[in-house]
Amino acid sequence: MVIIEITNVEEILSAKIGSFAAKIVQALADDEAKVEEVLIKELLANFQERGIKANLFSVTGLDMLGNGKLEVNVNVRSANMMS
C-alpha cells in the first residue's frame, strides 16, 4: 500500500489558476479534493498505459503525525477500481 500526502495544495492551485483565483476557490471549495481528483486521473491513465491494475481512493480522516506515524479515521471520498 502506498500513501501519498499532498503538502502544497495551495501552491499548486496558485500556479495553475493564479493566487487571487486560488483564494476564491479555497474559500468556496475543498482544494485538497480537487487536487486529488486531478492526480488520480493522471495516475489512472499512467497505470493503464503500463498495464497496472490498482484501486485508487480519495479519503478524508488520515493525518500524518510525523516520525512515520499515521492517525487513521477514514472516510472514502471517491473510489476508482481498476481490478
pLDDT tens string 55-72: 888 887 777 777 777 777
Would you say residue 17 lies in a domain?
Answer: yes
Domain range holding 38?
A: 9-81
Would you say residue 4 lies in a domain?
Answer: no
Burial of 77 (0-12, 13-18, 19+ CB in 10 A): middle
Would you say residue 28 lies in a domain?
Answer: yes
What pLDDT was estimated at residue 4?
A: 76
Would you say residue 35 lies in a domain?
Answer: yes
Average pLDDT on 14-43 reads 70
Going by the DSSP 8-state scheme, the letter that residue 29 receives in this structure is S
Give the chain's domain count.
1
Positive or negative torsion for Cα 63, 73, 12, 27:
negative
Would you say residue 27 lies in a domain?
Answer: yes
